[in-house]
Amino acid sequence: MKEFKVTYFFDEEHYIRRFIYVESQEKAEELIRKERDGYISFTDSRGIYHELNTNGVRVTQISEYHRNDKTKKASGKS
């Protein structure tokens, strides 16, 4: 599974972001198309529950996300 970042923009300053796990970019796009003009719900990484009416979204962006492992210390630093 790959991780994808999905960002829903409502205007130039307001957006909401979620992360999804699917096999490919094509599957991510298919999921987003199926959710268009409907209600979705998800819990973000901070544990905050969201319900979103995708009908109010002006722009949706999908990109593969490569999460940095924050548990590893940077080399040469202690």
Residue 59 has pLDDT above 80, yes or no: yes
Overall number of domains in the chain: 1
- The answer to the question of residue 44 being in a domain is yes
14 touches 76 (CB < 8 A): no
- Threshold 0.85, pTM exceeds: no
pLDDT band of residue 60 (cuts 50, 70, 90) is very high
At residue 68, does pLDDT exceed 90?
Answer: no
| pLDDT per residue as tens digits for the range 9-55 | 999 999 999 999 999 999 999 999 999 999 999 998 899 999 999 99
Q: What is the pLDDT of residue 69?
A: 72
Asked whether residue 69 is assigned to any structural domain, the reply reads no
Nearest Cα neighbor of 11 from 59, 62, 63 is 59
Residue 78: the pLDDT is 47
Domain region containing 52? 2-64
**Residue 76 domain-assigned?**
no
- Tell whether 77 is covered by a domain: no
